A = this chain, B = another copy of it.
């Protein structure tokens, strides 16, 4: 069961927009899209994004400076994320693969470091783009 974080007004507006878009969105594109709803400044967007990332409703695609709604209903915090990114059409999808996530969550090396979080981005050509 996912913990309910009742979102604030701005958080809800911004989450709904990203979620409905179905793909990654950039901060200033979000800003442009929510100006009619009264959100006028970058900081208002970034604050909502920070919170949404913190509670796991969205994830940041670091290589693209973009944000995508979490596809995984069991995901409560953005602490173990994996994405596949098409380098041609820039389609992004979240990878839910329990073997992969187990492997990475349990990964340790000889550095003596205990990892509490990871982010993995795979790149390639998606089916559509490959066949072009």
Contact = CB atoms under 8 A, between A and B. Distances in A.
A119 interface: yes
Given A62-B63, A63-B62, A117 B111 contact: no
Nearest to A127: B112
B119 A93 contact: no
A10 interface: no
A124 B116 contact: yes
B97 A113 contact: no
Contact of A125 (B62, B100, B113, B119): B113
Contacts of A113: 84, 86, 122, 124-127, 130
A121 to B, nearest CB: 5
A32 interface: no
Nearest to A126: B113
Interface string A79-113: 00000101100000101010010011001010111
A72 to B, nearest CB: 14
Interface of A: 62-63, 84, 86-87, 93, 95, 97, 100, 103-104, 107, 109, 111-127, 130
11 contacts: A62-B63, A63-B119, A84-B109, A84-B113, A87-B117, A113-B127, A113-B130, A115-B124, A116-B124, A117-B122, A120-B121
